[in-house]
A and B are shown apart, each in its own frame.
Chain A
Amino acid sequence: MLALATLRSRWGGFAGTFVALALGVGLIATVAQVMLANVARVPERYSQAPVVVHSGSSSLPPFSRERAESLRAELGKITGVAAAVTEHTFYAQPVGTEFVEGLGWSSAFLAGEGLLAGEEPAGDGDVVVGEGFGWKPGSTVTILTAGGPSGYHIKGIVKGKAIYFSDALARRSAPGVRAIGLALAPDADPHAVEEAAESLLSGQGRALAGGERAALESESDASRRSDGSILLGTMASIAAFVSIFVVASTFALSVAQRRRELGLLRAVGATPRQVRRMMFGEALGVGVVASACGALLAIPLTPAFAAMLERAQLVAQGFSPVVRGWALAAAAAAGLIVALAGVWSASRRAGRVSPLEALREAAVDRRPMTAGRWGFGVLFGLGGLGLAFGSAASGPSAVLSAAAFAAMALIVGLTLLAPVIIPPIAHAVAWPLSRLRGATGLLVRENMLVAVRRTASTAAPVLVTVGFAAVVTGVIATFGVAVREDGTMDARPRGEVVVLPDGTPGLSDAAVAAVGSGGEGSLMSTIYATLGNGQVWPVEVAGVRPDIFVLAPDEIAIAGGYAGALNWKPGESVEVVLADGERKSLRVKEITDDIDDDALAGGAVLARSVVREHDGNALTDAVFVRGEGAGAVQARLGGLGAVASDPETYARARVVREERLIRLVVLVMVGLSLAYTAIAIANTLLIATTARVRDFAVLRLAGATNGQVAAMVAAEAGVVVGIGAALGLVVALVAVGGVAWALTRDIGVSIPLEMDWPVMGIVFGACLLLALAASVVPARLSLRTVHLSGE
């Protein structure tokens, strides 16, 4: 009864907690549903192939053409199999689109797609396209393949979005076969067929049926999903962290504010346990309603969020999450737990309030630091430091996560230690204030020092916001510098102009030819080597022109480190599997110092002609040009999906995928924490200011005008925000410093600590404006109605 009555009459004080919790639950529910849907799915193109024979993961070689053909014939003979179709897939990108996959026409059968209009492809110049492209039968479309652009005649239309070439062309273009789809007779048992296929393969590949076929999802989908998972995971943790933070600090503040009331309750006969239970009751009340609202909020939020993720290429194509009731319920339950967890320590403090507090007038915190606060404060502080400095540069996503967690730990630590840290800082900051003539400075300083808890609770959200914004943008900036340093070091000696893919996954032969003989670029492919223990290892191989490096067609050059790992010795003859599944014997040649590291890219070098012969899909990552300006080169690159730029751009392009992810993460993280702490700052200051009405009355009695009281409130808010921002900056400097140190150690070049000052300036300004509004406005409003009698 008491909890409900308190909630009803003091709902304003709980509004902030309510909003924070509802948003937190909504966000977590949304993220959860998206993550649940972000699982590997069976690709559409196997919808009519219940069993698919797969050559294994992408780190294993594909079936060679002969092997694929003989397998297909044998698989076709299994009882229950109506047809076995080899899938030939290769790089084909219609100019001006982002679509990059071409298939042979027979794959349409596996997808279950029939012609909607027109006919199937007859010759190499024909294609059948999906209606999703919006092209008409009979027209011509220019499609980029590994060789270069070529015009194709649209012979027919099917459903969806796909491009089918003639089987003959597909067979020639696709480097090896990775999948053979089996269409079954109507009464066939997929599992029986699967077993029969497995025995046929005898270990050289796998047969997948039913849901297992999800393993066949495309590489791009797989990498998108993993990027997305990292982002979603980080978002969920931040949402949870900030929710708990705001809820806990709001309840802590409310205990401090309701000291007299709690004292009265104790005097009237409430045992400490009853007081604690009342607080839990309040938290439960707020928690239940807020969690329910948050869960409902997730329903419209999920599709919107999914659309945003798909556009950012962080989820598989065709992603459509479903509203799962149990996920919403689970998120709501989590919200309840957060509410109860947030009130836990505040309730213990409430129970310890002595009945005599009801008699006390002044808001003096006598012992704000407990052993628990000391212990956990130090623990979190050290933990944060460890995370920051221990973040090895194992990839930008991991570094970002480590930095975020380090920031969180440091923020918690600093907040817990706030009553110890803030007074000396407040002293230092306010000393010049008290030297001014007039009462404002003195009042501001004394108020801040005496109501330490209130000051700490108000500074904390600012700390969180500024800290997060600074850490996130700082890590980006520092990482950017590191990548540029690392890349520029490599690129600059090789050419003043770098030709890079523009909207394509790589440069075609035509683009490379257009650059001319002044350019130097390698064809990138993969070969597969067998290690001593029988394990097959993929090795990235670069195909280089003879004028760069002389290699006979049967030679392979390998960097020293790799040679050791593969146990290859110079002059030795080794057998590898090339990109099309064919085996080839090669003589090992050692790398000399004439060729620089980057041409190796992965580890091995082959003659360009060999790579092109065995990998019809191979593309060039970049071409370095010397002795010409970018403009002149660009003039030759029309319509080839390439752009000429400078070495810095090349260095950055190497992580362009991560940069897109990082930009989104920045937006989300900073935006989220800003929104949250806006609520927290407003909430805290609102509660604190309205509770000081009597202080204002006393001040008025002492002779202060309304303007002076408002100025005092504003000055105090400003100073507290300043303290919070400064502490946030400290957190960020530590976290980002750790990252810079780790990167320096990793790359070998001194990486400076970079911060994004403009963004931080904006964040700080926003916090300040918010704090001023949230304190001065209620102060002025309450001054209008305050009675000078002091009651």
Chain B
Amino acid sequence: MEEAVQLWGASRVYGSGEGAVRALDNVTVGLGRGTFTAVMGPSGSGKSTLLQCAAGLDRPTEGKVVLANVDLETLNEHKLTLLRRSRVGFVFQSFNLLPALTAEQNVALPLRLARRRVKGDELRAVLHEVGLTDRAKHRPSELSGGQQQRVAIARALVTKPDVVFADEPTGALDTRTSREVLGLLRGIVDRHGQTVVMVTHDPLAAAFADRVIFLADGRVVGDGSAESAQEIARHMAHLEEGEA
């Protein structure tokens, strides 16, 4: 299977000397196309850092990242932005949308930034995909948390990216809304072969994935197919116990 993203010996160090923090420590991992991967770990394990490096939002201090067959190190900030714009979709935990724009305008943003012509039916299709056709003209302040996340996913999808990265997408949502959003993510992988990489600390969310990668102290300590939520939870408890 082809791999959408590869990290080769990636490390990310913050600060220097005594106070240096190794958020990522020599991580080598490949994420296959058309799969739903969950990256789990206790807080401080480096899972968000892994995501940020894989998505090209941050540069590793050592090692390399290959995204859509391009070595990210060879790109300057400008080209990196262009690559991200067309190949990557990103969903944050919160603050995903520009408050000044409507849902529709937020979704269209990456296309407009790329100066591509925005086709009305394309927009409508992707909004329909996330079930928000009737909220297209509303501003984020008029949408619930769950609805905002769905708009964010729609925007992540509109450029038909190679990978969609999600950083704790359900962290601020209640259980029912979380399940809806996760169902949506599962749906795009199943129906359209989209690659999704999600960081989460919630075993219930991770259960929606195909594969779970466990991180602790910046290193991969577990990697396997996703089991039930209970299994995942037990795994996590082991990890945290192991540290204590």
Chain A residues with CB under 8 Å of chain B are 1-2, 5-6, 8-10, 260-261, 264-274, 354-356, 358-359
Contacts and interface: CB of A to CB of B under 8 A. Distances in A.
A69 B96 CA distance: 93
Given A268-B90, A356-B52, A261 B57 contact: no
A10 B57 contact: no
Q: Is the interface of A mostly helix, strand, loop or mixed?
A: helix
B78 interface: yes
B13 interface: no
A270 B81 contact: yes
13 contacts: A2-B112, A9-B99, A264-B97, A265-B98, A267-B84, A268-B113, A268-B155, A269-B81, A271-B78, A271-B81, A272-B78, A356-B58, A359-B167
B114 interface: yes
Given A272-B78, A358-B92, A264 B98 contact: yes
B122 interface: no
A267 B101 contact: no
B152 to A, nearest CB: 10
Contacts of A1: 105, 112
Contacts of B98: 2, 261, 264-265
Given A2-B100, A271-B113, 19 more contacts: A2-B98, A2-B112, A5-B101, A261-B99, A264-B92, A264-B98, A266-B81, A267-B57, A268-B85, A268-B110, A268-B113, A269-B82, A269-B86, A269-B109, A269-B114, A358-B92, A358-B95, A359-B95, A359-B167
A355 B58 CA distance: 8
B190 interface: no
Contacts of A269: 81-82, 84-86, 109-110, 113-114, 159
B77 interface: yes
Interface string B65-88: 000000000000110011011100
A274 B81 CA distance: 11
B156 to A, nearest CB: 9
A786 to B, nearest CB: 14
A243 B112 CA distance: 34
Contacts of B57: 267, 354-356
A1 B167 CA distance: 28
Contacts of B90: 267-268
Contact of A272 (B77, B85, B159): B77
B101 A271 contact: no
B69 to A, nearest CB: 19
A613 to B, nearest CB: 84
A323 B163 CA distance: 63
Contacts of A355: 57
A87 B99 CA distance: 77
Contacts of A272: 77-78, 81
A131 to B, nearest CB: 65
A8 to B, nearest CB: 7
Given A260-B95, A355-B57, A359-B92, A268 B82 contact: no
B144 to A, nearest CB: 11
Contacts of B85: 268-269
A260 B99 CA distance: 11
A8 B102 CA distance: 12
Contacts of A268: 85, 90, 109-110, 113, 155
B240 to A, nearest CB: 24
Nearest to B90: A267
A263 to B, nearest CB: 9
A274 B112 CA distance: 11
A264 B58 contact: no
4 smallest CB-CB distances across A and B, nearest first, come from A269-B85, A9-B100, A271-B81, A5-B100
Contacts of A9: 99-100, 139
Contacts of A5: 100-101, 105
A74 to B, nearest CB: 81
B112 to A, nearest CB: 7
Nearest to B84: A269
B54 to A, nearest CB: 14
Contacts of B86: 269
Interface string B55-66: 001100000000
Counting chain A CB atoms within 10 Å of each CB, the highest count among B82, B86, B98 belongs to B98
Contacts of A265: 98, 109
A249 B99 CA distance: 23
Contacts of A264: 92, 95-98
A218 to B, nearest CB: 61
Nearest to A360: B95
Contact of B100 (A8, A266, A356): A8
A359 B105 CA distance: 21
Nearest to A267: B90
Contacts of A271: 77-78, 81-82, 113
Contacts of A359: 48, 92, 95, 167
Contacts of B139: 9
A359 B95 CA distance: 8
Interface in B160-203: 167
Nearest to A7: B100
Nearest to B112: A1
B78 to A, nearest CB: 5
A245 to B, nearest CB: 27
Of A8, A265, A359, most buried by chain B (CB within 10 Å of CB) is A359
A749 B139 CA distance: 71
A8 B105 CA distance: 14
Contacts of B92: 264, 267, 358-359
Contact of B113 (A10, A270, A356, A358): A270
A603 B146 CA distance: 91
Nearest to B109: A268
A355 B81 CA distance: 10
Nearest to A352: B77
Contacts of A358: 92, 95
Interface in B2-26: none
Most chain B beta-carbon neighbours within 10 Å: one of A6, A9, A269, A273:
A269
A271 B115 CA distance: 12
A366 to B, nearest CB: 12
Interface string B129-159: 0000000000100000000000000010001
B239 to A, nearest CB: 24
B91 to A, nearest CB: 10
Nearest to A351: B77
Contacts of B114: 269
Nearest to B111: A269
Contacts of A8: 100
Nearest to B156: A268
Which of A9, A266, A268 lies at the interface centre, i.e. has the most chain B CB atoms within 10 A of its CB? A268
Contacts of B95: 260, 264, 358-359
Nearest to B52: A356
A274 B113 contact: yes
A274 B78 CA distance: 10
A270 to B, nearest CB: 5
Contacts of A6: 100
A8 B78 CA distance: 29
A789 to B, nearest CB: 10
B230 to A, nearest CB: 30
